[in-house]
Amino acid sequence: MNQNNFSQALLAFGISCALAACQAGASKTEAPSPGTTTSLQKDTTVPGAVMDAVTAAPNLYRVLSDSLGIRIVSVNYGPGDSSAMHAHPDNALYVLKGSTVAFTTQEGRSPAREFKTGMTAVRGAEAHSAKNTGTRPLQVILVEVARPMNTGPRDEAMDATKVAPNLYKVKSDSAGIRVLEINYAPGQSSALHAHPDAALYVLEGSTSEFTGEDGRKQTMTLKAGMALIMPAGVHSVKNVGATATKAILVEVYRQRQ
């Protein structure tokens, strides 16, 4: 089996397993119990940090998916909620519901920062505590990357944002981590394009048809709230459903360890 076919097979297998897990859990994902070791806890250290965020505040941070040195975490702070000092590796975030947050780093407290709904950002590793000082709940999807800064090449000719710029929009791009917003209206399709290892979070779901380089097709129903980690692959996509598909894709151009 050549490398392209292997990537396609692995991609299909990875998505199928992730979808099966989502369906079996009926959108309910259990967080690891305190003390559970995840790939990020093994691979990432921030000097002086007390502990991993999920261990430090399991009521506020919940793991949705964890694979390939990438972890998708659901973050939920009600008004007034706060966490103890904890660590994050390099990460990308998408704000589902915004509020105002005050962070305290090891150097001291910083001014409160407003996180607006729809905001994206790529941030470096750090240790801090946080408090929702606003009057609204804060909901964030956090994609943590436990990989060293050894970025790989990008195939510009197969870049999704070049092949289908009307469907894939760059929202943030830094340090080998890129955040894309995906929008497929019913019937819309893209030509063959490539993605590196990536984390997908579905905002609005529909049914999509994926076609690999060898012409094999796979139809999947993507539901709002699904969180998938997918290995690198090449495919085209068509929305064959009756509603729009909208998602956030965090591409990781850092090579695996």
Residue type, 124: G
Asked whether residue 141 is assigned to any structural domain, the reply reads: yes
Q: Which residues contact 9 (CB under 8 A, 6 or more apart)?
A: 1
Query: Same domain for 153 and 141?
Result: no
Half-sphere exposure of 167 (CA within 13 A, CB side): 21
41: pLDDT strictly greater than 50: no
Query: Same domain for 54 and 7?
Result: no
Domain encompassing residue 72:
39-145
- Confidence (pLDDT) at 34: 30
Last residue of a domain, one of 89, 119, 145: 145
Query: Same domain for 181 and 137?
Result: no
Query: Same domain for 195 and 116?
Result: no
Asked whether residue 32 is assigned to any structural domain, the reply reads: no
Q: Model pTM?
A: 0.82
Q: What is the mean pLDDT of the chain?
A: 85
- Confidence (pLDDT) at 17: 40
Query: Same domain for 76 and 153?
Result: no
CATH number at residue 112: 2.60.120.10
Asked whether residue 159 is assigned to any structural domain, the reply reads: yes
Tell me how far CA of residue 236 lies from CA of 209, 212, 242, in angstroms.
Answer: 8, 7, 19
125: pLDDT strictly greater than 80: yes
Query: Same domain for 91 and 133?
Result: yes
12: pLDDT strictly greater than 50: no
- What mean pLDDT do residues 229-241 have? 97
- What mean pLDDT do residues 214-227 have? 96
Higher pLDDT, 168 or 33: 168
18-32, 111-125, 153-167, 232-246: range with lowest mean pLDDT: 18-32
Query: Same domain for 121 and 43?
Result: yes
37: pLDDT strictly greater than 90: no
Quick one: pLDDT band at residue 50, thresholds 50, 70, 90? low
Quick one: pLDDT band at residue 226, thresholds 50, 70, 90? very high
Asked whether residue 257 is assigned to any structural domain, the reply reads: no
Asked whether residue 155 is assigned to any structural domain, the reply reads: yes
Query: Same domain for 50 and 109?
Result: yes
Query: Same domain for 54 and 12?
Result: no
- Confidence (pLDDT) at 257: 80
Quick one: pLDDT band at residue 26, thresholds 50, 70, 90? very low
- Number of structural domains (the chain) is 2
Last residue of a domain, one of 145, 167, 201: 145
- Residue matched to tokens 């941070």: 61
Asked whether residue 34 is assigned to any structural domain, the reply reads: no
